[in-house]
Amino acid sequence: MEMAQSIFEFVNIRDFGTVLASIVGLARWACLGNPSVYNFFTTRSSFNDPAALCMNTNGILRKHWFHVSLHFATDAFLFTLAFVAAMLLRFGGESAVSLWAHWPFFVAGAIVFSATTYIASLYSTHSANRGILERSLVLIVCVILATLVIIGGTYLNSARPLGRGIMLLGTLASYLAALIHHIVILHGLRNSKERVAYVVTGAFDEAETRLFASFGGRNLEFAGVVLYGAYQPTGKLRILGKIEDLAAIVEREKISRVLCTNKCLGDTTLIRHFCKLRYSGISVMPLISLCEEAEQYVPLELISSEWLLNASGEPQHIYIKKLKRLFDIICSAIGLILGAPFVGAAALAIRLTSPGPIFYYQTRSGRFGRQFQMTKLRTMHVNAEKDGVRWSEKNDPRVTFVGGFLRRYRIDEIPQLWHVLCGHMSFVGPRPERPEIITQLAKEVPYYEERLMVQPGITGWAQVSYPYGASTLDSRRKLEYDLYYMKHMSLFLDVFILLDTVRIILTGGAKAHIRAVTAEETIQEWERLKEQPAAVVKPNFELETA
């Protein structure tokens, strides 16, 4: 009873309540940093516009980042709670209050623990293949690093240092709590499977179902198609039934999502069925929105002018104009200070191992195509482009021995922080390209010049999600990630990209996720049918189902 009373008294301390509220509020902050996630929990008036039912997917877009933010905040909360409990168990309520001066270090350690866990990719959907043993070992390292932050902070503080008993109890408790949490995460990643049905009204819709195999996520299962009108599929598709029975089909087949093409949105009958599903909690969306949510990229094949117009209105203007610039100034100033020793060591190595200048100056295109002279540490031999502009490639013979090391760990890009401080670049954004390369790629890659609508960055979603580009195909893939970032940019996403950048630096580069390759004939057929006007669909109530 004494222990229970001391805990009750302790948790009613004003400062303690404030801190816990702040940590729990981290998840809500994630939602506010990503307005579309926040709207997942609030009602918006998208139902007033039938087309907005699918085109405005505020209900589900960025759900991935909400879950990442929630796991991040949960780990931080559990870590802090473990050390608070250790203090109570060791000293009781009265003594614990006298040690309350250490709570900032608990919070700092909790943030470090969650950040290192994110850097280790334990929140990623791609981590489903990492077993419990590997996760437990990674969590040990993360807990030790976070505990060292607490130890260092308490010894630097003038207050009484924490004893070994508290540190041991807190470390063990935080590790066990985090391990249980990550076992739950792993179970969800491996066992959650969402069944998807496609509404098919014509040949174009059927062609798009064949793209699903390439663009769909790992935890998605294609259940079949729901027919509307007199159209009969020509391919081998499982027919689930007719649109009139859509609600019953969803319940019978345990469908989690219903996909449709943009051409379906002009039909009021379909919109009525879709509204019923959304009010019942079933997601209805185009395939491009599913790719954004499940894989965090935007397939170029699925982009339309409507999507571009919708995407350009997504980013929050206040963040772009005010907060992002403040974020850039703070990060670049800190980065220049911390990176100065690395630049000095790299400059010395370049001077000793390769004749020529230390820095390399090159014209790059900024926002709206405005050109500026970008500064980098030289990583190639002098006159590397005497035969003209060419792609960097794997094991490029033009790269020096020291340059290869600098490129691998992104040290050659530290001088670009000066351009961020001056306003030529942002800390996070699409990679700045050379004007001649942009001109060439704009002819071969659709929508490539869209990336010029925002400030280029030292790091970005494409840079941490895809390795160095060495071909037009690589440029297409990286553009898909750039367009995703441009639509969903926010302060919170920028913070996660910075953490991903730390992982890239430590591991020596991003790795491309394997994606199924769609047959060229399927893409050509889909592109041809996309240009045709939508047919007037009349429901066929006598259609036989299989």
Residue 61 has pLDDT above 50, yes or no: no
Under a CB-based contact definition with an 8 Å cutoff, are residues 234 and 260 in contact? no
pLDDT score of 338: 93
* Region of 369 on the Ramachandran plot (φ > 0 left; ψ -120 to 50 alpha; else beta): left
pLDDT tier for residue 531 given thresholds of 50, 70 and 90: low
Please provide residue 155's backbone torsions phi and psi, each rounded to the nearest 5 degrees. Answer: -75, -30
Nearest to 99 by CA among 149, 143, 146, 157: 157
pLDDT tier for residue 98 given thresholds of 50, 70 and 90: low
Under a CB-based contact definition with an 8 Å cutoff, are residues 141 and 119 in contact? no
pLDDT score of 23: 42
Q: Alpha carbon 401 to chain centroid distance? A: 33
Residue count (the chain): 546
> And the tokens for 151?
């130890």
**Predicted confidence (pLDDT) per residue in 214-227, tens digit:** 665 667 888 999 99
With 0-12 / 13-18 / 19 or more C-beta atoms within 10 angstroms meaning exposed / middle / buried, residue 413 is: buried
Distance CA 333, CA 375 (A): 16
- Between the alpha carbon of residue 171 and those of residues 71, 148, 220, the distances in Å are 19, 10, 38
Distance CA 233, CA 218 (A): 25
Tell me which amino acid residue 263 is.
K
Lowest-pLDDT range of 104-118, 199-213, 444-458: 199-213
**Which domains, from first to last, does the chain contain?**
61-192 (no CATH), 194-295 (3.40.50.20), 318-384+393-527 (no CATH)
pLDDT tier for residue 293 given thresholds of 50, 70 and 90: confident
Q: Using the Cα atoms of residue 158, residue 160, residue 164 and residue 169 in order, give the sign of their dihedral.
A: negative
Distance CA 546, CA 90 (A): 67
Tell me which amino acid residue 439 is.
T
**Predicted confidence (pLDDT) per residue in 452-472, tens digit:** 999 999 999 999 998 877 788
